Chain A
Amino acid sequence: MMRLRDASLQRKLTVIVMITTVVALTFAAVGYVAYDRFMMRTALGRDRTVLADIVGANSTAAITFDDQSAATETLAALRREPQVAVACLYKAGGALFAEYDRGGARGACPASPPGGLVDDLRFLDDRLDVTRPVVLDGRTIGAVYIASDLSELQARVRQFARGAAVIIVVASLIGLLLLWWLRGILARPILAVVETARAVSERKDYSVRARKYGQDEIGQLVDAFNEMLVQVHQRDEQLRAARDAAEEASRAKSVFLANMSHELRTPLNGIIGYSEMLVEEAADFGYARLTPDLERIGQAGKHLLAIINDILDLSKIEAGKMELHVESFRVEALVAEVVSTIQPLVQKNANTLDIDLDPSLGDEEMHTDRIRLRQSMWNLLSNACKFTHRGRITLRVWREGRDGPPWINFAVTDTGIGMTREQMDKLFQDFVQVDSSTTRKYGGTGLGLAISRRFCRHMGGDIDVTSHPGQGSTFTIRVPAAISAEAVSEVALRVAGA
């Protein structure tokens, strides 16, 4: 039955109808055969009883006048009835008086009637025994016993059963044929819907509609299905439009920002430049006490410039206008360069910086965007310095990939405040520092990591982070040592969508 559940609709239908048909027919046949047998037996019993009575009535004189030959002759008339096998006439005391045997055998009669000289009727395996008393003038003067052969009756029952079996088989076959012819009525509409659903699912074509065959439950299913497709299609269209609009808006924004670079930087450079000039002139004209205020103007301007640069970088990447400036350089040299510039920041929070250059690097040369890689490294290190107090910052560099193209890893580990999982998830999003409070406390634009990651991905690599709150973090830059030409264009496409 479990397998039936998984069988095709047509098979299910076939099995169900066939079982129903066969069971119903069998029941009917069995019932009728049983009924027929019962009726036959009842009729036969009645018939034999009447026969016994007649024989008995005709034998009264013979018994009364002790005329055995006459009695035997009377019994012999039963030859006319082919199913009577044995007939016996008994006198009142139970003694056998006359007998008849169809086969002519002698001694076929039992010594006394089974069950006595009383009315008796019993069906045995292949025999019907009937005993009737012989009555004269109200007194029982003897008994007649007739044994009939049931084999004909049984043969008839068997014949009937065989006939019924044949009919069942034929009817089942006819049923199968009809089923074959008619099952399409049920199966076709369902299969059509199944096909359509499959096609839609495979081709992702939501403009297809299922065909409706009738207004039954399946028809309703088809209607609902098509309605669903319409909604999906509409929603698809809406989503696509929305996405396009959003992308367009985003791109427009980036283009706008990129184009604004010049417009923004020019006045700022002016502010920074003139503030520096004023510092010098103030010193020259003896207004040295104005210097701190003037320097603040300059710093504010530089800070603002840094923010604007970051924003413009980001927008340039998003607008797809970021181009890699590929050059060859030694890893060792790059590391030295970055370390030297980061020293002031390290000392600012009383941290120590350890460098761990894997010896396998040696004179390893990289062929990628040096400037951007340096910027990313500097970003990681500055973050480490910012979020660690009196801690240890370690920069570990090593080479990966003995067989195949080599990759270089730059891991910055600090013993700073660390991050929770939620904080890590938010980490690389634009304009989000770990939480808003850190912007005020630690400074920065909040764009550094996002930009660094984009740079690394652009170069064909990525930035990973692991961290435990209170224990520190490790940020790892992992980039291919050499970036190929195809990779550049491929990555450009990828980054545009990143």
Chain B
Amino acid sequence: MQYLLRAVRRRTWVCALALALGPAALWPVHGQRLAEYEVKAAFLFNFVKFVEWPAEALPAGGPLLICVLGDDPFGDALDAITKGERVGGHETAIRRFRSLDQVRSCQVLFVSLSERRQMPAVFEAVRGASVLTVSDIDRFAASGGMINFTKQNYRIGFEINPQAAERARLRISSKLLSLAKIVEGPGSP
């Protein structure tokens, strides 16, 4: 975790700016939000390390796409973290979508808060495809998503719906599951 933050700080002008401009106290709201989404970006990226995609969904040597649907809350953090990084031998790339057209081509789909009302449509769009759906929409996992972020006492945690992942033929490592709160979603939609 530390190393990722370090990577961020090393690599982006945002970081340089942040350092140069001193403690986050000068930007109370904006600074906190940035930190939170830095962490979430790091988590999002790290989730990938604990998930297995079936071969047809993630061919060997093929790129691993992390897509953001809706308003991108990460700023440059996600790009900074994934830049040049490989996971399991796969190159990583970031895509940003506003529509659901191409979401099935992603391995990871982050559903932004802005798409709250679109949740059922999103689930419909990815049904059957091996896409890891992550969001920080409240009760996302219980509604049929796979992972959603939670915030307790300034700590960022996450909830996981293993059944949803199973339905998408994704295997989530028990190590990740052991850190998460397990939720059950609705039956097969």
Q: Please list the residues of chain A having a beta carbon within 8 angstroms of any beta carbon in chain B.
A: 57-58, 60-67, 70, 91-93, 95, 136-137, 139, 141
Q: B25 on the interface (CB 8 Å rule)?
A: no
Q: Is the CB of B179 within 8 A of A67?
A: yes
* B175: contacting residue among A58, A92, A137, A141, CB under 8 A: A58
* A62: contacting residue among B3, B43, B179, CB under 8 A: B179
How far, in whole Å, are A1 and B155 apart by their CA atoms in the complex? Answer: 83
How far, in whole Å, are A27 and B163 apart by their CA atoms in the complex? Answer: 66
Q: How many CB-defined contacts (below 8 Å) exist between A and B?
A: 40
* A66: contacting residue among B1, B88, B173, B175, CB under 8 A: B1
Interface of A is mostly: mixed
Q: Is the CB of A136 within 8 A of B1?
A: no
Show 5 A/B contacts (Cβ-Cβ < 8 Å), sorted by A: A60-B49, A61-B175, A63-B1, A65-B179, A139-B3
Shortest CB-to-CB span from B110 to chain A, Å, is: 17
Q: Is the CB of A137 within 8 A of B2?
A: no
Q: Is the CB of A61 within 8 A of B176?
A: yes
User: For chain B, which range describes its interface: under 10, 10 to 19, 20 to 34, or 35 or more residues?
Assistant: 10 to 19
**B43 surroundings in chain A (CB, below 8 A):** 65
How far, in whole Å, are A29 and B43 apart by their CA atoms in the complex? Answer: 59
**B178 surroundings in chain A (CB, below 8 A):** 61, 70
How far, in whole Å, are A93 and B4 apart by their CA atoms in the complex? Answer: 12
Q: Is the CB of B1 within 8 A of A91?
A: yes
**B46 surroundings in chain A (CB, below 8 A):** 64-65
Shortest CB-to-CB span from A16 to chain B, Å, is: 68
Shortest CB-to-CB span from B61 to chain A, Å, is: 16
- Which residue of chain A is the closest to B46 with respect to CB atoms? A64
Q: Is the CB of B3 within 8 A of A136?
A: no
Q: Is the CB of A137 within 8 A of B179?
A: no
Q: B87 on the interface (CB 8 Å rule)?
A: yes
Shortest CB-to-CB span from B87 to chain A, Å, is: 6
Shortest CB-to-CB span from A144 to chain B, Å, is: 14
Shortest CB-to-CB span from B37 to chain A, Å, is: 15
Q: B13 on the interface (CB 8 Å rule)?
A: no
User: Which residues of B1-41 have CB atoms within 8 Å of chain A's CB atoms?
Assistant: 1-3
Identify the interface centre among A136, A137, A141: most chain B CB within 10 Å of its CB.
A137
**A137 surroundings in chain B (CB, below 8 A):** 49, 87-88
**A58 surroundings in chain B (CB, below 8 A):** 175
Interface of B is mostly: helix
Which 10 pairs of residues, A with B, have the shortest CB-CB distance? A61-B175, A66-B1, A64-B46, A67-B179, A92-B3, A61-B176, A70-B179, A61-B179, A137-B49, A65-B179
How far, in whole Å, are A57 and B179 apart by their CA atoms in the complex? Answer: 14
Q: B123 on the interface (CB 8 Å rule)?
A: no
Instruction: Given A61-B50, A65-B179, A136-B49, verify A92-B2 contact (CB < 8 Å).
Output: yes
- Which residue of chain B is the closest to A71 with respect to CB atoms? B179
- Which residue of chain B is the closest to A91 with respect to CB atoms? B2
User: Which residues of B44-86 have CB atoms within 8 Å of chain A's CB atoms?
Assistant: 46, 49-50
- Which residue of chain B is the closest to A64 with respect to CB atoms? B46
Shortest CB-to-CB span from A113 to chain B, Å, is: 16
Please give 6 more A-B residue pairs, beta carbons under 8 A apart, in addition to A64-B49, A65-B1, A65-B158: A60-B175, A61-B175, A61-B179, A64-B46, A136-B49, A139-B3
**B1 surroundings in chain A (CB, below 8 A):** 63-66, 91
How far, in whole Å, are A66 and B178 apart by their CA atoms in the complex? Answer: 13
Q: Is the CB of A93 within 8 A of B2?
A: yes
**B173 surroundings in chain A (CB, below 8 A):** 61
How far, in whole Å, are A67 and B2 apart by their CA atoms in the complex? Answer: 12
- Which residue of chain A is the closest to B175 with respect to CB atoms? A61
**B50 surroundings in chain A (CB, below 8 A):** 61, 64
How far, in whole Å, are A223 and B74 apart by their CA atoms in the complex? Answer: 113
How far, in whole Å, are A307 and B87 apart by their CA atoms in the complex? Answer: 146
How far, in whole Å, are A66 and B176 apart by their CA atoms in the complex? Answer: 12
How far, in whole Å, are A93 and B50 apart by their CA atoms in the complex? Answer: 22
- Which residue of chain B is the closest to A73 with respect to CB atoms? B178
**A141 surroundings in chain B (CB, below 8 A):** 3
Shortest CB-to-CB span from B47 to chain A, Å, is: 9
Shortest CB-to-CB span from A239 to chain B, Å, is: 112
Shortest CB-to-CB span from A481 to chain B, Å, is: 136
**A66 surroundings in chain B (CB, below 8 A):** 1
How far, in whole Å, are A93 and B49 apart by their CA atoms in the complex? Answer: 20
Q: Indicate with 1 or 0, residue by residue over B155-183, a CB within 8 angstroms of chain A CB atoms.
A: 00010000000000000010110110000
**A139 surroundings in chain B (CB, below 8 A):** 3
**B88 surroundings in chain A (CB, below 8 A):** 137
**B87 surroundings in chain A (CB, below 8 A):** 137
How far, in whole Å, are A28 and B88 apart by their CA atoms in the complex? Answer: 54
Shortest CB-to-CB span from B46 to chain A, Å, is: 5
How far, in whole Å, are A57 and B43 apart by their CA atoms in the complex? Answer: 18
How far, in whole Å, are A92 and B1 apart by their CA atoms in the complex? Answer: 9
How far, in whole Å, are A58 and B3 apart by their CA atoms in the complex? Answer: 19
**B176 surroundings in chain A (CB, below 8 A):** 61, 65
How far, in whole Å, are A63 and B179 apart by their CA atoms in the complex? Answer: 10
**A95 surroundings in chain B (CB, below 8 A):** 2
How far, in whole Å, are A58 and B49 apart by their CA atoms in the complex? Answer: 14
- Which residue of chain B is the closest to A67 with respect to CB atoms? B179
**A64 surroundings in chain B (CB, below 8 A):** 1, 46, 49-50
**A62 surroundings in chain B (CB, below 8 A):** 175, 179
Shortest CB-to-CB span from A101 to chain B, Å, is: 22
How far, in whole Å, are A212 and B93 apart by their CA atoms in the complex? Answer: 105
**A91 surroundings in chain B (CB, below 8 A):** 1-2
Shortest CB-to-CB span from A402 to chain B, Å, is: 128
Shortest CB-to-CB span from A60 to chain B, Å, is: 6
**B49 surroundings in chain A (CB, below 8 A):** 60, 64, 136-137
Shortest CB-to-CB span from A59 to chain B, Å, is: 8
How far, in whole Å, are A199 and B87 apart by their CA atoms in the complex? Answer: 104
How far, in whole Å, are A61 and B47 apart by their CA atoms in the complex? Answer: 9
How far, in whole Å, are A58 and B71 apart by their CA atoms in the complex? Answer: 35
